[in-house]
Copies of this chain bind each other. A is one copy, B any other.
Amino acid sequence: MLVFGHKNPDTDTVCSAIVMAHLQNKLGNPAQAVRLGDLNKETQYVLNHFNVEAPQLLEGSLEGKDVILVDHNEFGQSADGIGEATVKMVVDHHRIANFQTAEPLYFRAEPVGCTATILYKMFKENGVEVESKMAGLMLSAIVSDTLLFKSPTCTAEDETACRELAAMAGIDLNGYGMDMLKAGTDLSDYSAGQLLGIDAKVFPMGAATVEIAQINTVSIADMLTRKNELEAQMQAIISEKGLDLFVAVITDILNSNSQIIALGNRTDIVEKGFQVTLVENTALLEGVVSRKKQIVPVMDKSA
């Protein structure tokens, strides 16, 4: 059984795949975690900290293989050739779309902030002991997805789970959590293209096609020193993909604000949605940190 999260892997997707494979092995179902792309710096920091080996890159055909999906369900975000595999189980916290199976399966989605919060419940339900390393991976996933409980996607259940796991792993959440989030923002050696590719998704909004890329940072000012470079790259992506709008969201994880840079012929969607005026293509959105909860719905309405 192969276990994997989404393409463009983040900390929740990688940690949840490792933890789910561990849980399945404990339950007597041989399973192996794999990943669908390179690890980001935050995830590397987490695996180093808890001395856990990175999953191998998925290689070869999925035809006839049994798989478990974590942290995603849409086939478009999954492994190439996912339609050839037999999906035996899904554990996720996203909307459900573009997913189908021929047979009944175990599918569990809950509207919480992080997949690992659900996995932690599964350990309890199955009476499987949570080893310290696994607790470390799960708490890291929750810190990552909820920006240390600051994101509006965070539920009381996520926070409670994270604090229980921190006690098990002997982790000081505020200290470790901030170090981990900061590790993910050490992007000085990234090209503009890499920065925009860390966490980018395309959305249809009304008649417009919109790409929204999010970059976490501890200093918006530092990131803005590269504004010209980012804009040139955004313009290139707009032309290449025929986008109507590209929004780069630079999120200050310390102060919970986001600076956006918007380019394209439908920047009116941003100005109308957030009631701001773009000056030199940019504006500050105070208190905004979640693309899923605070950006996409607002823009969708004004598109």
Contact = CB atoms under 8 A, between A and B. Distances in A.
Please classify the interface of chain A as helix (H, G, I), strand (E, B), loop, or mixed, using the class held by over half of its residues: loop
A190 interface: no
A96 to B, nearest CB: 5
Interface residues of A, number: 20
Contacts of A65: none
A101 B125 CA distance: 27
Nearest to A102: B95
A29 to B, nearest CB: 14
Interface stretch (A103-111, A141-149, A226-234): A103-111
A98 interface: yes
A96 B106 contact: no
- So how many copies of this chain end up in the complex? 2
Interface in A93-136: 93-111, 125
Contacts of A111: 103-106
A106 B110 contact: yes
Contact of A107 (B100, B101, B107, B125): B107
A271 B97 CA distance: 38
A95 B100 contact: yes
A98 B93 CA distance: 19
A123 to B, nearest CB: 14
A107 to B, nearest CB: 4
